[in-house]
Amino acid sequence: QKEVEQNSGPLSVPEGAIASLNCTYSDRGSQSFFWYRQYSGKSPELIMSIYSNGDKEDGRFTAQLNKASQYVSLLIRDSQPSDSATYLCAVTGGSYIPTFGRGTSLIVHP
Amino acid sequence: GAGVSQSPSNKVTEKGKDVELRCDPISGHTALYWYRQSLGQGLEFLIYFQGNSAPDKSGLPSDRFSAERTGGSVSTLTIQRTQQEDSAVYLCASSSQGLNEAFFGQGTRLTVV
């Protein structure tokens, strides 16, 4: 059973702070890693993808991957109230099917 | 189209009726996925298409659920004899290849009354 685990939260951070979201996965054969943002009542929106160990930065977002530890994280710098949403971690391996975690709820308060 | 398109956006049906949900993927995307998301829950995988074939349909909850894809493009998810527990948002996603980024449509909210 391939599993993707996330802390359900909510994670509450003040505006302007760094939000750190974490995800672990069980399938060592996983090759592709994604972060999605889902606002209430909306569908998931892709915000970051990462395929190799290390960091990948895109604007205020940084994805970090450590395959040895089977760990992927998302950092959001200068958090804004508009970042308040559920963040879903997804992992794809040899089955070519993205497996999703249940998501972490992020609340950014002014 | 620019993105994944699903129709209808909302569907209310009576228990026992059949429903068809449609997904139009991003042009050129060979991989297509159906997921289901119940209120406050995570994404539940239903079926994966590569081209017109479905290598993995292990997530379909029962034999009342079926899906097909034609022309390597549009996919239809059919639920027969709907039950109240089928009420959920049905999400379709497509990807250029199996390991690449998947993009979601806006979903179909199904309510069985």
Please state which of the ranges A1-15, A51-65, B21-35, B81-95 shows the lowest mean pLDDT.
A1-15
Cβ neighbours of A92 in B, within 8 Å: 98-99
- Residue A57: partners with Cβ closer than 8 Å, 6 or more residues away: none
Whether residue B31 lies within 8 A of chain A, CB to CB, comes out as: yes
Residue of A nearest to B31 (CA): A96
State the Rg of chain B over Cα.
13
Cβ neighbours of A46 in B, within 8 Å: 101-104
Cβ neighbours of B31 in A, within 8 Å: 96
For B94-97, the CB contacts below 8 A with 24+ separation are B94/B4, B94/B23, B94/B25, B94/B26, B94/B29, B94/B31, B94/B32, B94/B33, B95/B29, B95/B30, B95/B31, B95/B32, B95/B33, B96/B26, B96/B28, B96/B29, B96/B30, B96/B31, B97/A96, B97/B30, B97/B31
B43-72 pLDDT tens trace: 999 999 999 999 999 999 999 999 999 998
Cβ of B50 and A96 within 8 Å? Answer: yes
- Residue A3: partners with Cβ closer than 8 Å, 6 or more residues away: A25, A26, A27, A99
Please state which of the ranges A1-10, B61-70, B89-98, B100-109 shows the lowest mean pLDDT.
A1-10
Whether residue A73 lies within 8 A of chain B, CB to CB, comes out as: no
Give me B40's structure tokens. 């406050």
Cβ neighbours of B55 in A, within 8 Å: 96
User: How far apart are the C-alpha atoms of B46 and B33, rounded to whole Å?
Assistant: 8
Whether residue A92 lies within 8 A of chain B, CB to CB, comes out as: yes
Whether residue A69 lies within 8 A of chain B, CB to CB, comes out as: no
User: How does pLDDT run along chain A (110 residues), one tens digit per residue?
Assistant: 779 999 989 999 999 999 999 999 999 999 999 999 999 999 999 999 999 999 999 999 999 999 999 999 999 999 999 999 999 999 999 889 999 999 999 999 99
